[in-house]
Homo-oligomer: A and B are copies of this chain.
């Protein structure tokens, strides 16, 4: 992680892709969102979605996984260059989550994250809060989901 002070509004990262298989979709749904259109092809065909599709929460869980993996790669690269790794604090939450299009079996979603706001908070000296707009786009170029996430990031020592 970069220090809060080295992160700029407009910074954009490509997080990678996830392809949703039927198995994958059903496994998530069985545990966390057992609705027929996420679990069974026949039921899904008769639903408003028209075919088996992923739980909206699954489309975000896949984002989360890629975001964490990205952070681990970034930290390993910083370590390899001998740079300090800033700490990432907790996330207070997110806003404006939109599920725009269904994610069907075989869809490959490309995830990206763009910094839209940064703010220093009095409540947590030595830390700042970063807001990023996160998006998922399918192989046809259609936006399928977006939300604005947030997280505390450590400030450069002496920056405050």
Contact with B along A87-120 (1 / 0, CB 8 A): 1011111111111001000000000000000000
Interchain CB contact (< 8 A) of A64 among B33, B96, B97, B99: B33
Task: State whether A61 touches B57 (Cβ < 8 A).
Answer: yes
Nearest CB in chain B to that of A94: its residue:
B97
Expressed in whole angstroms, the minimum distance between the Cβ of A75 and any Cβ of chain B is 11
Across-interface contacts of A68 in B (CB, < 8 A):
33-35
Secondary structure class of chain A's binding surface, majority of residues: mixed
The bracket for how many chain A residues form the interface is 20 to 34
- Contact of A49 with B by CB under 8 A: yes
User: Could you tell me the distance between the alpha carbons of A64 and B56 in the complex, rounded to whole angstroms?
Assistant: 10
Q: Which residues of A contact B (CB under 8 A)?
A: 31-35, 48-49, 55-57, 60-62, 64-65, 68-69, 87, 89-99, 102, 147
